[in-house]
Structure 1
């Protein structure tokens, strides 16, 4: 998810370093410092108007309100990119589009913005809008009028829903709404026909609209740390979708077969919610990553019998998983903590039947021509490996599902 890049021109507004502006600034009192910063801000905006700058940097200026100097007279008609990161803004002016009509990129990361005015929809040329790390609780429907918008970043806010009008953004390529309180995604999102990267990590999603499968240009889909219980069966059918991350969805126990030739992240899936909430759940990442190498035994397709150790682990896993929730009821067999940890968090699940696996896996290698990467890496050895719990599951496994 790359940001727009540009080369600095001679007419950019270069804001001098505070140390350069005044060597004794740190020795001044609060009132003098505030006065100096205000004078510096005024001078910066004045120069931007006089020299018709296209880029203006007002990051770290301790702004509580949008600078009135930007909105006086005709405004900055030539300004294309405005950066106001890490200030204390709470809203935007209604006449923003009137005074800054040629804005292409508006960067407002890390402010205290609670709402954006309906007039935001008048920024007809806007291509990139970053409102990450603010206090947004609601996104106005007029956001759908930004028909030139290509990148919309709204991560780490307090959004509980997205307006259906977001589906009107047909040029949108990147949408990041991670770390919010979303319980669903609008079905009309599939009308964002140019969408390539969708990030919805750390929300409250229990399901994914099947219409997302119709996003034929979607390349990366990230929905980690939600409450997903299943994924649409058609997800991954598009050849363009190559990266799917659903890590830490505790109740997600299976994946659509179309995802088996993709890059998939699913660590921490298939675990009970109760296990996730406990002490072991807090150490989930350490348990999954820190397993000893000797545990990760690879079986061969010629093996017809699963080792007794593996069968015992699978049986114990079922016994412990389905025991009564009452903490006073002891498990049928007392086991050491190291073994209990392994039982709570198996290495993975069979790509064919979703059976848990602990000490042995059966890999099946698919040649490059059978994967969605065929034709892209013509001279490199790229292949997909499916992991199964037994040779019985391995033999009928294929990429067509």
Structure 2
């Protein structure tokens, strides 16, 4: 078997193959023959699914610099080396059905990446550094629709940055440990250093996007509340909202009747209809946000250099936006529960679903005037 493998790789090197199939080879280690001398400089697609690999070599990018697609489905990979970020031409990376517990942030350096498949691992979180221009997570076609699928992992939350996908059509996170979904995701486009100027009235939350049509969060037993911006979408949430305590993480929550809804850790306070004065930190952040975006073009007035990085990132990507008026929110939200509704093609009521829509508002006025049908 070893001699046959070496022969296959040698022929690929000699004949300058662009595609190499090493599926079902019972490989426990990455073949050294692939890394010999200069490697395979012409190789663009490497298929290594259903082996027993546990890791990848550090010099992968050096030896296979022109890789466009790398398929590692159904191995035993626990760790992906930081050097993966040097595969500058990589467009498709399939790591589904492995043993990943984390995804290294260096994947965010893969500026050409369009498909990242991570289903059926042991992930507890996703890296916020993922490429912002990445069109697809798990499957899809670049010119048609965008899909984000991370089913059957151990995810507690979804980073807001990962949802900055301009043409997201389907969001699937079934079979995880989600206790909440992002309150309201601002689809702002940015460069690494300086965000582009986005007028306040052009803020667009994820759920208000026409492109997003399908959201599947089935079998997340801790999840009891769906953000109200998903009201007109096709929703799958069968098996959510089971009466079980969340003990592994500390989450802020609010209750209405018998329903308790968990909120992201970034939420520092929950407002009620009687709270007419916002916290000082919230007022300061909102004022700075509007000032920053109003004068962003005039770098002499307020440049990113004059702000701490943590504050700049928060200004660029707030906790969420009011579902009533789109005002940015940073530390406090005013939640309001609405009953779940039937939507086409979605099994909402299977006898195990206890879940509602939740509107997140920025003030008592918006809380009192918000209606799902308005």
TM over 0.5: yes
Checking the alignment, whether the CA contact within 8 Å between 1:213 and 1:238 is kept in structure 2 is no
Structure 2 CA distance for partners of 1:172 and 1:355, relative to 1, 3 Å: closer
2:8 to 4, 26, 44: 44
Q: Are 1:173 and 2:144 matched, yes or no? A: no
Offset, 1:136: 1.4
Equivalent in the alignment of 1:204: 177
Q: Secondary structure at the match of 1:46?
A: helix
Equivalent in the alignment of 1:185: 158
Q: Are 1:98 and 2:62 matched, yes or no? A: yes
Equivalent in the alignment of 1:245: 216
Q: Secondary structure at the match of 2:116?
A: strand
Checking the alignment, whether the CA contact within 8 Å between 1:247 and 1:266 is kept in structure 2 is yes
1:354 to 339, 359, 364: 339
Offset, 1:139: 1.6
Q: Distance in 2 between matches of 1:194 and 1:240?
A: 6
Offset, 1:38: 1.3
Q: Distance in 1 between matches of 2:167 and 2:57?
A: 30
Checking the alignment, whether the CA contact within 8 Å between 2:172 and 2:217 is kept in structure 1 is no
Q: Are 1:122 and 2:86 matched, yes or no? A: yes
Q: Distance in 2 between matches of 1:70 and 1:47?
A: 11
Checking the alignment, whether the CA contact within 8 Å between 1:254 and 1:354 is kept in structure 2 is no
Offset, 1:114: 1.2
Q: TM-score, structure 1 length as denominator?
A: 0.52
Q: Secondary structure at the match of 2:208?
A: coil
Larger gyration radius, structure 1 or structure 2: 1
Q: Secondary structure at the match of 1:40?
A: helix
Instruction: Deviation per CA, 1:207-226: give whole Å up to 9, x if none.
Output: 1123546389xxxxxxxxxx
Instruction: Deviation per CA, 1:28-47: give whole Å up to 9, x if none.
Output: xxxxxxxxx11221111111
Offset, 1:202: 1.6
Q: Distance in 2 between matches of 1:205 and 1:256?
A: 13
Structure 2 CA distance for partners of 1:200 and 1:46, relative to 1, 3 Å: same
Equivalent in the alignment of 2:47: 83
Structure 2 CA distance for partners of 1:241 and 1:197, relative to 1, 3 Å: closer
Instruction: Deviation per CA, 1:28-86: give whole Å up to 9, x if none.
Output: xxxxxxxxx11221111111111111111100101111111111112111111100011
Q: Secondary structure at the match of 1:244?
A: strand
Checking the alignment, whether the CA contact within 8 Å between 1:173 and 1:196 is kept in structure 2 is no
Offset, 1:272: 3.7
Q: Secondary structure at the match of 2:162?
A: helix
Q: Distance in 1 between matches of 2:170 and 2:44?
A: 24
Instruction: Deviation per CA, 1:359-394: give whole Å up to 9, x if none.
Output: xxxx99xxxxxxxxxxxxxxxxx9xxxx9xxxxxxx
Q: Secondary structure at the match of 2:235?
A: strand
Q: Distance in 1 between matches of 2:229 and 2:164?
A: 22
Equivalent in the alignment of 1:56: 20
Q: Secondary structure at the match of 2:20?
A: strand
**Larger fraction in strand:** 2
Offset, 1:201: 1.9
Structure 2 CA distance for partners of 1:254 and 1:93, relative to 1, 3 Å: closer
2:234 to 250, 263, 271: 263
**Structure of greater relative contact order (alpha carbons < 8 Å, 6+ residues apart):** 2
Checking the alignment, whether the CA contact within 8 Å between 2:27 and 2:53 is kept in structure 1 is yes
Instruction: Deviation per CA, 1:158-183: give whole Å up to 9, x if none.
Output: 222222212x3413322432222221
C-alpha RMSD of the superposition: 3.5
Q: Secondary structure at the match of 1:74?
A: coil
Q: Secondary structure at the match of 1:39?
A: helix
Q: Are 1:135 and 2:108 matched, yes or no? A: no
Q: TM-score, structure 2 length as denominator?
A: 0.56
Which residues in structure 2 correspond to 1:7-46 (within 5 Å)?
37-46=1-10
Instruction: Deviation per CA, 1:126-179: give whole Å up to 9, x if none.
Output: 00101111111222111100010001111222222222212x341332243222
Checking the alignment, whether the CA contact within 8 Å between 1:171 and 1:193 is kept in structure 2 is no
User: How many corresponding residue pairs?
Assistant: 238
Checking the alignment, whether the CA contact within 8 Å between 2:178 and 2:223 is kept in structure 1 is no
